[in-house]
């Protein structure tokens, strides 16, 4: 209900939950445009002896009506990305790198637009939005991560 007509929806999602998100997205009346694959530079752990090494993340891209992308250069739906640094320096266990987030913000918004993140975690999307001149509203249920996000968003953002 809060996404304006012509607006974009991006969601980082594990393949195991794709069908559930797909159903919810379609039920909300959104048009699924792409499954974007983030091909990571390094694989994760997972079940070391029982499955293949996980080396990608997925992003669902959907829109409410027709959404026009703001291209500098058209992006592929498979993006080679670097993995996030050591867990010892992460703000959140599921934290995403700025260079994973910023292409989506640049492709779907213009300066001054509002970005809403209903699972804000430690505020990475908010930090990217602020850095790129967008407004941001985030929701996070965990008080520990709310404090981390507030601190990160209050700091001076370097471009």
Task: Give yes or no for a contact between 136 and 129, defined as CB atoms under 8 angstroms apart.
Answer: yes
pLDDT tens track for 28-44: 999 999 999 999 888 77
* Whole-number percent of the chain with pLDDT over 70: 90
pLDDT band at 26 (very low <50, low <70, confident <90, very high): very high
The Cα 96–Cα 103 span in angstroms is: 13
- Cα 24 from Cα 109, distance rounded (Å): 23
78-90 confidence digits (pLDDT tens) = 999 887 665 567 6
Q: Please compute Rg for the chain using Cα positions.
A: 16
Residue with tokens 């983030």: 38
Tokens representing 11? Answer: 């969601």
- How many angstroms from the chain centroid is the CA of residue 60? 9
pLDDT tens across 42-101, in order?
877 777 889 888 889 899 999 999 999 998 889 999 999 887 665 567 666 666 777 889
């Amino acid at each position: 209900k809060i996404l304006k007509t012509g607006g974009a929806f991006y969601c980082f999602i594990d393949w195991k939950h794709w069908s559930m998100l797909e159903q919810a997205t379609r039920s909300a009346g959104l048009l699924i445009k792409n499954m974007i694959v983030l091909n990571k530079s390094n694989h994760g752990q997972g079940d070391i002896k029982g499955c293949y090494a996980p080396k990608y993340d997925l992003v669902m891209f959907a829109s409410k009506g027709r959404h026009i992308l703001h291209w500098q250069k058209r992006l592929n739906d498979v993006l080679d990305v670097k993995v996030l640094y050591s867990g010892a320096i992460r703000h959140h266990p599921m934290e995403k790198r700025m260079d994973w987030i910023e292409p989506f913000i640049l492709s779907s918004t213009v300066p001054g637009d509002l970005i809403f993140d209903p699972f804000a975690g430690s505020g990475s999307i908010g930090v990217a939005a602020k850095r790129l001149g967008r407004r941001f509203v985030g929701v996070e249920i965990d008080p520990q991560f709310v404090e981390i996000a507030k601190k990160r968003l209050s700091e001076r953002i370097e471009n």
